[in-house]
Chains A and B, each alone.
Chain A
């Protein structure tokens, strides 16, 4: 797992139009600069909000990224719920402590 770099990339995409342009035009080269597992790389390429949530991406980073992808609020909340259903509880980070909550 390289959650740190997943979050770093999303953080930079959220705040920097130049990184967003590279993501559109030169995606492979951009992603090569981060230490990512195949699963992480795929989740980012596919904009898989549910899987990114389960991986442990901080919700504030993920919420801004969801907005960037153009998801509506309801789609975003549903994507996280679907992610937990499909991939199991959050694996890493702060939200692992939410496991016992009734989602």
Chain B
């Protein structure tokens, strides 16, 4: 079939773990839009969901850090974090090993993609799944783009990765959904946690939603670090989704800085064609 759904959302652990400390009106509006994204995802009737995430040292470390890796397991589990801290129960999440294998084989023609038959999800995947597939009944295929441990893959390569991922999806009989999750500007896990550069976020989102490849891949890492923090490196996940939906534009469902969640909370879909 093809790609039947594409979108992006935030994944910060505070979204679930510190839910009680946010302004209820803003938080509930954000949750409502995540639920709208879930409904759109379900309406697309996907057979599998690819999650392009920026994991946080749950599986990959600097002893052997892949720039891009796709999961190829029958089953995954998460979260690795303390369940009370994240307010998400540990659970098993189904995969689709056969589909993973076909996608990876197809992509290896153009990209040196790593694969992993073991994968534990951290908040970076569990928070989106908590809202988008709350029954954990849709097979998930995780993808990691290293956004934590520099040297990092260039932004233009992240876009190209998305293009190659799309081509591989289009060659499969399954109906495939895709979400990217990361960023946008934030300084997570530092004393600056809670700082959000709304102006930078809105400009990045403008470039992303217009699918303006050149503009969205023009940031240097030094600029991103200066203006959007080390968490800003995670724009690679959004850029990969843009690459997978090249030619299409997006729709912003929600954006609002929620400092106690440590991120500008974002929900958007891309018009898959």
Assuming A58-B149, A60-B148, is B191 touching A81 (CB within 8 A)? yes
Contact segment of B53-61, B91-99, B167-175, B247-255: B53-61
- Decide: A15 and B150 in contact? CB cutoff 8 A: no
B230 at the A interface (CB under 8 A): yes
B122 at the A interface (CB under 8 A): yes
Assuming A14-B57, A94-B230, A97-B225, is B81 touching A84 (CB within 8 A)? no
Contact among B59, B81, B188 for A59, CB-based, below 8 A: B188
- Chain B residue with Cβ nearest A73: B18
- Considering residues B57, B82, B149, B230, which has the most beta carbons from chain A within 10 angstroms of its beta carbon? B57
Assuming A15-B80, A68-B82, is B191 touching A84 (CB within 8 A)? yes
Contact among A8, A14, A68, A94 for B63, CB-based, below 8 A: A8
Assuming A64-B80, A64-B122, is B59 touching A15 (CB within 8 A)? yes
Interface size on B, residues (CB 8 A): 30
Assuming A14-B57, A67-B82, is B62 touching A7 (CB within 8 A)? yes
- How far is it, in angstroms, between the C-alpha of A63 and the C-alpha of B17 when the chains are bound? 13
Contact among B120, B150, B191 for A77, CB-based, below 8 A: B191
> A-B pairs with CB below 8 Å: how many?
72
- Chain A residue with Cβ nearest B149: A58
- Decide: A11 and B191 in contact? CB cutoff 8 A: no
A62 at the B interface (CB under 8 A): yes
- Chain B residue with Cβ nearest A70: B82
- How far is it, in angstroms, between the C-alpha of A95 and the C-alpha of B13 when the chains are bound? 20
- How far is it, in angstroms, between the C-alpha of A4 and the C-alpha of B187 when the chains are bound? 22
Q: Is the interface of B mostly helix, strand, loop or mixed?
A: loop
- Min C-beta distance of B25 to chain A, whole Å: 21
Of residues 44 through 67 on chain B, the ones whose CB sits less than 8 Å from some CB of chain A are 56-59, 61-63
- Considering residues A7, A11, A64, which has the most beta carbons from chain B within 10 angstroms of its beta carbon? A64
CB-CB under 8 A from A63, the residues of chain B are 13, 56, 188-189
A-B contact pairs, 18 of them (CB 8 A): A7-B57, A7-B62, A11-B57, A11-B61, A14-B57, A14-B58, A15-B58, A53-B191, A63-B13, A64-B122, A73-B18, A80-B190, A80-B191, A84-B191, A94-B150, A98-B187, A98-B192, A101-B192
The 8 closest A-B pairs by CB, nearest first: A59-B189, A60-B56, A63-B189, A67-B85, A67-B82, A80-B191, A81-B191, A103-B191
Q: Which residues of B contact A (CB under 8 A)?
A: 13-14, 17-18, 56-59, 61-63, 80-82, 85-86, 120, 122, 148-150, 187-193, 225, 230
Task: Add 13 more A-B contacts to A8-B62, A64-B122, A98-B192 (CB < 8 A).
Answer: A11-B57, A11-B61, A15-B58, A58-B57, A58-B149, A58-B189, A61-B56, A63-B56, A64-B81, A67-B85, A73-B17, A73-B18, A80-B191
